[in-house]
Amino acid sequence: MDLHNLAKKENKITSGHRLCSGCGAGIVINQTMLAAEDENVVVINATGCVEVTTTIYPNTAWNIPWIHCALENSASTAAGVETAYKALKKKGKIKDNIKFIVFSGDGGTYDIGLQALSGMLERGHNILYICYNNEANMNTGYQRSGATPLHAETTTRPWGKNIHGNPTKRKNLTKIIEAHGIPFVAQAATAYHLDFMQKVKLGLATEGPAFIDVLSTCRLGWGHPSNMACQLSKLAVETCYWPIYEIRNGRLRLNYRPKEPKPLEDFIQFQKRFEHLLLPENKKELEDLKRMVSDEWQALVKREDCDRVCMKFSKGY
C-alpha cells in the first residue's frame, strides 16, 4: 500500500453522498475502499445509514458493483452471491478474481442479522464482513441495540426518573464471532486508519470468512460536535473503551496498548448520551461503566500475554 499518496488515489466511492458531516461510517467506507484499491470488489450493503445516504434514487455514490439487501440478511445475500461466483468461475464463465465485502451497522449485525451472519461464518464463505458499529440503531432514531454500552442513553432507553439509560452491558460480538473458528477476527477504530486499512487487506487476503468490528462515531446519536469524529475515535482506544486487536487463527494480538490509559471521562465528556454520568448523583453508574471497561481490557491483556508465551513455541503468527 502506497501510504504517501492515499489522498491521490481514485476511490471506489465518490464524494457527494449524504452522510452527516463528521459521520464515522463515511470514514469507514472510504478507508475500506482505499485499502481495497487493487481488488475487484462487490459490496453487499444492508439497509442502514450507509445504504440510505449513498444510493438515493436515481443517484449512487458507488463506482463498483453494489447490492442492497434487507437489514437482517446481508450475510445471506453475500453468501449467495459468493456461491454463484464460485460456480460461474468453475464453469469458466468468469475469469476475474472477485472479493466480496459486506457493510452492515450494529443493528443489522449484533441483533437482527446475527443468525444469518453465524450461518455464513459456519459455512466458510470467502467474504469480508465489516460492521460499522455506532452502538445503536441510528438510522431509525437512535434506538438501543446489542452494541449499546451500559448506562448510555438512547431514545428507547432514556435517562430519567424511572428509566436509567441502557441497563445491560454491550454484547461482546467479537468473542461470539471468534467462537465460530474463523481465521481472522478484528476490532478497529477509524482514527487508527493504517491499522484498520491493514486489517481490511488481511481480511480480503484471508481464505474463508473474515470479520472486522470497527467503531463508528455518530454525531447525532452520540451527541458530539461534528468535528470530533477522529478525536473521539482515538480517545475510545486510549481510554481502553474500545480496544483494537486482531485474532489470527485463534491467537490474539493487541494492536495498541497504552502505557497509561486515559480516564474514561476524557471520552464520555463530549457525548450527550453519557452526560448524565458526569452528575454527582450518578457516580455509581459511572463506576459501573468504568468497571466494565477495565474488566474487558484486563481480560484482553491477560490473554495476549498468554498467547505471547505460546508463540515462543510455535511458528506462523
User: If pLDDT is split at 50, 70 and 90, which confidence band does 3 have?
Assistant: low
Local confidence band at 289 (pLDDT 50, 70, 90 cut-offs): very high
- Homologous superfamily of 3-311 in CATH? Thiamin diphosphate (ThDP)-binding fold, Pyr/PP domains (3.40.50.970)
Evaluate if residue 1 carries a pLDDT over 70.
Answer: no
Q: How far is CA 105 from CA 13, 108, 160, 218, in A?
A: 18, 5, 27, 12
Kindly report the number of other CB atoms within 10 A of residue 44's CB atom. Answer: 26
The pLDDT assigned to 10 comes to 76
Within 10 Å of residue 141's Cβ, how many Cβ atoms?
Answer: 12
The pLDDT of residue 314 is above 70: no
Interatomic CA distance for residues 13 and 25, integer angstroms:
13
- 102 pLDDT tier (thresholds 50, 70, 90): very high
- Give the whole-angstrom CA distance, residue 233 versus residue 230: 5
Tens of pLDDT along 191-240? 999 999 999 999 999 999 999 999 999 999 999 999 999 999 999 999 99
Is residue 258 scored above 90 in pLDDT? yes
Q: Name the band, by pLDDT with cuts 50, 70 and 90, for residue 178.
A: very high
Give the residue among 44, 25, 41 at the shortest CA–CA distance from 33: 41
pLDDT beyond 90 at 9: no
The rounded percent of the chain whose pLDDT value lies above 70 is: 96
CB atoms closer than 10 angstroms to residue 275? 15
Q: For the residues of 125-173, what is the DSSP string, one character each?
A: ---EEEEEE-SSBGGGTSB--TTPPTT---SSS-BSSS-BS--SPPP-H
Residues linked to residue 213 through DSSP beta bridges, in sequence order:
131, 187
Look at residue 70 and tell me whether its pLDDT is greater than 60: yes
Contact (Cβ atoms closer than 8 angstroms) between residue 11 and residue 118: no
| Domain spans in the chain, listed from the N-terminal domain onward | 3-311
